[in-house]
Structure 1
Amino acid sequence: MPDAPSPAIFAGIPLKNPSLFRRICVPLGDPAAWIETTDRRVALVRDIEMDRVRGLSNADRVVCPMDYEPAGKLDADRETATAQAVAEFCRRENLATVRVDRSLPFVFAWHLQQAGIELSYDPELGVIDRRQKSEQEIERLAEAQSVTESVMRYLCETIAGCTVAADGTLVHEGETLTSERARALAAAEFLKRDYSMSHGAIVATAPDVADCHHAGAGALRTGVPVIVDLFPMNNETRYWGDCTRTVVHGQPSETVRKMHDAVVAAKAAAVKQLRVGQTAESVHLAANQALLDAGFELSRGTVSDQPTIQHGTGHGIGLDVHEPILLDLGGGPVLEREVFTIEPGLYGRRDGGVRVEDMLVVRDGDAQSLNQLHEGLDWT
């Protein structure tokens, strides 16, 4: 029989560490730790948080740093004290080697090493389990995407319904509609739904949109495409939505129509490839080939006047808006119940940009889309 895996330790601040939060199940702003052995799960948290963690997590035991005070006493600094207690726990439990993940803070590593505990780095720890979502996680992501789409529809219809000033800029409720103001409108709508835009949002048009991650600045204009990319977090579940649509007030140019047709075809090609047994790289290459076949060129790392392909095709999503693995070059095998966004795009200073993004669950067979919104440019 294969040897049992070494005990695993996750540590840090659950509010900032999704792998730790997924186990603690409480978004604590103070340091905490989670120790998994072959037969039990132990949560180490502040004493005032113990009852909440007992009620919400599946820990077999919940302890606090004072329960594992070393001979030299606990430091007054909470993070140091938690690290000391984790090291003392391992000493008392005779844990000679522990597996740690990519997110372990150095203060925990240092105290474990000072206690003579060997650290074994496991690059898949806290990654594989988050990639393969539970059905509850998929439901939470579907809920987040539904809320994201409701605000997306509101914002795109608002842009499409603007009046036009003499200089071609859009006017909403008597004021020029800018990228900044549009993002503020979206933030207010998400706040009503108990979602937050902690990473912001993108409402970008030419020329700024030639940089595909530019958030956008200044007035929006008629006849020019506007990329709207919304990625809010549910404040209760902490799962993310992520959706992009492109809206044109008035009539798009023939170039923009061609760009949009190519992007929609690229997304369809990627979705067709998104299956168990395929690789993330093959999904990306399918999307890229559709864009290349439509006459567009690669320009990763640079921006240009002409519309070009600048980025990978998508990413995992869950307790972070960007999670492994990427739908990009080098991306490995796709797993069942992974959740990805697929978001091909084209960007240039002169004509602007077009991107369309959906969230999909990998199932046995065709991937399941969590989106309902149309993909078009017209939102009137």
Structure 2
Amino acid sequence: MPDVSLPAIFAGIPLKNPSLFRRICVPIGDPAAWIETPDHRVAIVRDIEMDRVRGSSNADRVVCPADYEPAGKLDADRETATAQAVAEYCRRENLASVRVDRTLPFVFAWHLQQAGIELSYDSDLGVIDRRQKTEQEISWLAEAQSVTETVMRFICETIARSTVAADGTLVHDGETLTSERTRAMAAAEFLRRDYSMSHGAIVATAPDVADCHHAGTGALRTGVPVIVDLFPMNNQTRYWGDCTRTVVHGQPTEMVRKMHAAVVAAKAAAVKQLRVGQTAESVHLAADQALLGAGFDSSRGTVSDQPTIQHGTGHGIGLDVHEPILLDLGGGPVLEREVFTVEPGLYGRSVGGVRVEDMLVVRDGDAQNLNQLHEGLDWT
């Protein structure tokens, strides 16, 4: 077990490293570092970023690499120079051993080791604190999910209210409505609200949707379910929304109705199990057993013609759209104020797929659902 009294180091590029960003609080695109002891916090950032970090973070000191120049001078490469400065800081402060997290770039590890500093890997560092959200973080996630639902409603209603060409394909504003075009419409709606779809979106129908993470291609068709999975990031807070609904233009088949009823029941079973002290595995098994009990098989890792279970039940969410822990086999105890998606689904080449996804906060008692949008197939 790592010694949690050791100083902790986070390093990398805050724009790409959520654990570092959560401390620096500025989405810097250049290398930076954060050195934290029980009673002192130091940020090492590029000189032009120092004032912003002073104003946004709770660092006790904000310095730049030039403030900790080693005897051999700083390298011209910014990442190397920042790593040199971190090692020099540790040398001057007599830090013989430090804790590091799973995201530490090797350039920082190498320079620390070259300076004779022992690295103690802590698998929970930067994980547990992000799993247990603050109320402010929950508010940001709720805001992101509300915006996601607004765009979700627009997209699902657009699909449901389209006209139909002679070949059964959908038409919107005189043009064929495709997966690609629908995603572009969603991206434009999010952009107007200062959100970005940096990981894309899913608007998928049969047969592509048999692969549950396929983004979808080609024309949408009447009578065939369309899975719409939107997961945008708020460009200001950098917290994510993540919501999935399934829409059918026209009348769904009896099989699709059966799939939808099973998925909604599975989600309800998982939500009921999502409580402090329960395991993430038990939440997944509640959903899994509901789907199996409804007559659907599991074929994880294998795309199938008939509708089957393809994935776990959900994941953590926050500064990343997918965060630990997973609601899946092996998942450990859930913690108060963790935020999860719950998203059971069924997928097959022949009839298409159905998935419904909400975002929930683990509370002392029933989980708090951050969604308000209906779960149905009819969006007219």
TM-score tier by shorter-chain length is over 0.9
State the one-letter code of the partner of 1:187: A
Report SS of the residue matched to 1:42: strand
Extract structure 1 runs of 4+ deviating beyond 4 A: none
In 1, distance between residues paired with 2:131 and 2:39? 24
In 1, distance between residues paired with 2:278 and 2:4? 30
Give the C-alpha shift of residue 243 in structure 1.
0.0
In 1, distance between residues paired with 2:19 and 2:69? 26
For 1:155-208, what per-residue CA distance to the aligned partner results, in whole angstroms no more than 9, with x for missing partners?
A: 000000000000000000000000000000000000000000000000000000
- For residues 173-188 of structure 1, the aligned pairs below 5 Å read 173-188=173-188
In 2, distance between residues paired with 1:209 and 1:46? 45
Say whether residues 1:160 and 2:160 are aligned partners: yes
Number of aligned residues: 379
In 2, distance between residues paired with 1:166 and 1:371? 37
For 2:18, the equivalent position in structure 1 comes to: 18
For 2:192, the equivalent position in structure 1 comes to: 192
Give the C-alpha shift of residue 4 in structure 1.
6.2
Say whether residues 1:251 and 2:251 are aligned partners: yes
In 1, distance between residues paired with 2:140 and 2:125? 23
Give the C-alpha shift of residue 15 in structure 1.
0.1
State the one-letter code of the partner of 1:73: K
Report SS of the residue matched to 1:315: strand
Give the C-alpha shift of residue 255 in structure 1.
0.1
State the one-letter code of the partner of 2:101: D
State the one-letter code of the partner of 2:33: A
For 1:36, the equivalent position in structure 2 comes to: 36
Say whether residues 1:348 and 2:341 are aligned partners: no
Q: For the Cα contact (< 8 Å) 1:101–1:125, is it kept in 2?
A: yes
In 2, distance between residues paired with 1:306 and 1:336? 38
For 1:70-112, what per-residue CA distance to the aligned partner results, in whole angstroms no more than 9, with x for missing partners?
A: 0000000000000000000000000000000000000000000
State the one-letter code of the partner of 1:56: S
State the one-letter code of the partner of 2:169: T
For 1:272-315, what per-residue CA distance to the aligned partner results, in whole angstroms no more than 9, with x for missing partners?
A: 00000100000000000000000000000001110000000000
Give the C-alpha shift of residue 3 in structure 1.
7.3
Q: For the Cα contact (< 8 Å) 1:4–1:38, is it kept in 2?
A: no
For 1:54, the equivalent position in structure 2 comes to: 54
Report SS of the residue matched to 2:373: coil
Report SS of the residue matched to 2:324: strand
In 2, distance between residues paired with 1:354 and 1:168? 20
Report SS of the residue matched to 1:29: coil
In 1, distance between residues paired with 2:50 and 2:343? 42
For 1:123, the equivalent position in structure 2 comes to: 123
For 2:147, the equivalent position in structure 1 comes to: 147
For 2:281, the equivalent position in structure 1 comes to: 281
In 2, distance between residues paired with 1:280 and 1:146? 25
In 1, distance between residues paired with 2:30 and 2:167? 52
Give the C-alpha shift of residue 258 in structure 1.
0.0
Report SS of the residue matched to 2:333: coil
In 2, distance between residues paired with 1:289 and 1:135? 33
For 1:219-238, what per-residue CA distance to the aligned partner results, in whole angstroms no more than 9, with x for missing partners?
A: 00000000000000000000
Give the C-alpha shift of residue 39 in structure 1.
1.1
RMSD: 0.8
State the one-letter code of the partner of 1:164: V
In 2, distance between residues paired with 1:57 and 1:38? 16
Q: For the Cα contact (< 8 Å) 1:276–1:334, is it kept in 2?
A: yes
State the one-letter code of the partner of 1:6: L
In 1, distance between residues paired with 2:361 and 2:203? 26
Report SS of the residue matched to 1:82: helix
Report SS of the residue matched to 2:282: helix
- For residues 190-229 of structure 1, the aligned pairs below 5 Å read 190-229=190-229
Using the size of structure 2 for normalisation, the TM-score is 0.99
In 2, distance between residues paired with 1:306 and 1:193? 39
List alignment gaps of at least 5 residues for structure 2.
none
In 2, distance between residues paired with 1:313 and 1:3? 34
State the one-letter code of the partner of 1:354: V
Residues 71 and 362 of structure 1, relative CA distance in 2, 3 Å threshold: same
For 1:324, the equivalent position in structure 2 comes to: 324
Q: For the Cα contact (< 8 Å) 1:65–1:81, is it kept in 2?
A: yes
In 2, distance between residues paired with 1:37 and 1:262? 50
For 1:267, the equivalent position in structure 2 comes to: 267
Identical residues among aligned pairs (%): 90
For 1:76, the equivalent position in structure 2 comes to: 76
Give the C-alpha shift of residue 69 in structure 1.
0.1
State the one-letter code of the partner of 1:70: P
Give the C-alpha shift of residue 38 in structure 1.
1.7
Q: For the Cα contact (< 8 Å) 1:262–1:294, is it kept in 2?
A: yes
Using the size of structure 1 for normalisation, the TM-score is 0.99
